[in-house]
Amino acid sequence: MAEPEKIAIAVNGNEQIVVAGCSVEDLLLELFPKIQRSENKSSNQFGAIAVELNSEIVPHSQFSQSVLKSGDSVEVVTLVGGG
Amino acid sequence: MPVEPPRTPAANSLDDQLELGPLQIGSQTIKSRLILGSGKYDSFETMRDSISASGTDCVTLAVRREKLNDSSARNILDFLDYQRLTLLPNTAGCYDAVTAVRCAKMGRAILEGLDNPGQHWVKLEVLGNSRTLLPDPFELLKATEILVSEGFDVLCYSNDDPVVARRLKDAGAAAVMPAGSPIGSGLGIANQNNQKIILAELKRDDPNYPVILDAGVGTASDAVIAMELGFDAVLLNSAVAHAEDPMKMSAAMRLAVIAGKLAFKAGRMPQAAYGSASSPELGVISSRKS
């Protein structure tokens, strides 16, 4: 059985090798177990995060449809303490 | 028969006197005149208790990268009553307009997910220098124009230059927030005259335009002075988080903002170079005159 094709993307500034065709949702489930585990305090599954793909915000409703390509740059951000 | 003392008219109840009225900032309204930052606390618990002691209904937060493969359970939102508080995301750590705009959109996206009213606004910080943490007014103005066009209520963290403040208002900022002194410096208001000019210029023909002191507040008296000058609110973080007793300082700030605002509304007495006696001249027993 052929090995799935891998692609290189940037996630939060670092290179990650992921399976070609993986979606933003797949990426979150694989790399951010904390988000996955967080109590469902809001209407969406992934809680208080935002995802930016190549400098554009990806709405939560689009996570499963947003397919990642080689060279993509992803930012996964959350709220922290600040003034 | 004992003489009854003359009746003095009942003072307004304390609650009436302390009612400062809500503050409208763009499409948002907040009740407290104290906005508190959520950073630099020793613990989430201290942060939570300080926010509670402050009486605020508005708390700032920063936007940062989520940690990969991190399964620790503690999340700041577990310690914030974000159903009740309006969260104000900042763009701290951004040094140019493009990055600040991206950061603002991230904050909006997160708060949309929480259905928090803070999704409509942003505390826009575009820094010029990491040592002073003072804003870059040129990039700040650029970012303001972009974010205003994208529908944000932009609260601009600015310096204390009246020209910059005016430009930001003219660009459509929902509020201008001049720094009293550098973030975290605790130096209070470094240039009172500039702040007076900013307040006068921004509120000319527009008395309800929100001007908020943001940065440099060190202790309660700084907040009182700010409100007495005419600021609509005070935003602070380090003054509480780095106090020896944050909850006590938070309570002090709550009272300070009320005291300063009431004094402002009361209209202070005039200042004079010479003395003016409080006790009457007539009937003095002393034969001495000077």
DSSP assignment of chain B: -PPPPPPPPPPPPHHHHH----EEETTEEES-SEEEE--S-S-HHHHHHHHHHHT-SEEEEEEEEPPTT------GGGGS-TTTSEEEEB-TT--SHHHHHHHHHHHHHHHHHHT-GGGGEEEE--BS-TTT--B-HHHHHHHHHHHHHTT-EEEEEE-S-HHHHHHHHHTT-SEEEE-SSSTT-----S-HHHHHHHHHHHHTT-TT--BEEES---SHHHHHHHHHHT-SEEEESHHHHTSSSHHHHHHHHHHHHHHHHHHHHH-PPPP-SS---SS-STT-------
Predicted pLDDT at A4 = 82
pTM of the full predicted structure? 0.92
Stretch B123-142: mean pLDDT: 97
For residue A36, is pLDDT > 70?
Answer: no
Predicted pLDDT at A42 = 47
For residue A54, is pLDDT > 80?
Answer: yes
Band of residue B6 on the pLDDT scale cut at 50, 70, 90:
low
Weakest mean pLDDT among A41-55, A56-70, B85-99, B168-182: A41-55
Alpha-carbon torsion (B166, B168, B171, B173), positive or negative: negative
For residue B100, is pLDDT > 70?
Answer: yes
Residues B172-190 as b/e (b if ≥16 CB within 10 A, e otherwise) read: ebbbbbbbbbbbbbbebbe
Q: Does B146 lie at the interface with A, CB-CB under 8 angstroms?
A: no
For residue B127, is pLDDT > 50?
Answer: yes
For residue B121, is pLDDT > 90?
Answer: yes
Asked whether the beta carbons of B195 and B229 are under 8 A apart, the reply is yes
For residue B140, is pLDDT > 50?
Answer: yes
Stretch B32-43: mean pLDDT: 97
Predicted pLDDT at A34 = 73
For residue B213, is pLDDT > 80?
Answer: yes
Find the length of chain A: 83
Nearest CA in chain A to B237: A83
Of the candidates B66, B60, B59, B57, the residue with the CA atom closest to the CA atom of residue B22: B57
Residue B110 has its nearest CB partner, among A12, A38, A50, at: A50
For residue B17, is pLDDT > 80?
Answer: no
Residues of A in contact with B106 (CB under 8 A): 50, 52, 57, 75, 77
What rounded mean pLDDT belongs to chain B?
A: 94
For residue B73, is pLDDT > 70?
Answer: no
For residue B93, is pLDDT > 60?
Answer: yes
**Percent of chain B with pLDDT strictly greater than 70:** 94
Stretch B143-165: mean pLDDT: 98
- Residues of B with a catalytic annotation lie at 123
For residue A82, is pLDDT > 70?
Answer: yes
Tokens of B235: 């935003």
Band of residue A47 on the pLDDT scale cut at 50, 70, 90:
confident
Stretch B233-260: mean pLDDT: 98
Weakest mean pLDDT among A14-23, A49-58, B63-72: B63-72
Stretch A45-73: mean pLDDT: 94
For residue B138, is pLDDT > 80?
Answer: yes
What rounded mean pLDDT belongs to chain A?
A: 88
Residues of B in contact with A83 (CB under 8 A): 37-40, 60, 62, 90, 92, 183-184, 215, 235-238
For residue A44, is pLDDT > 60?
Answer: no
Band of residue A69 on the pLDDT scale cut at 50, 70, 90:
very high
The interface pTM score, or ipTM, of the predicted complex is 0.90
For residue A73, is pLDDT > 70?
Answer: yes
Stretch B145-154: mean pLDDT: 98
| CA distance readout (Å), B207 to B33, B169, B204 | 16, 13, 6
Band of residue B237 on the pLDDT scale cut at 50, 70, 90:
very high
Across the interface, whether the CB atoms of A52 and B106 are under 8 A apart is answered: yes
For residue B19, is pLDDT > 90?
Answer: no
Taking each helix axis from N to C end, the angle separating B220-229 and B192-203, rounded to the nearest 10 degrees, works out to 40
Stretch B246-269: mean pLDDT: 97
CB atoms inside a 10 Å sphere around CB A56:
10
For residue B8, is pLDDT > 70?
Answer: no
Residues of A in contact with B104 (CB under 8 A): none
For residue B117, is pLDDT > 60?
Answer: yes
Across the interface, whether the CB atoms of B105 and A52 are under 8 A apart is answered: yes
Predicted pLDDT at B227 = 98
Asked whether the beta carbons of B91 and B105 are under 8 A apart, the reply is no
Predicted pLDDT at A43 = 46
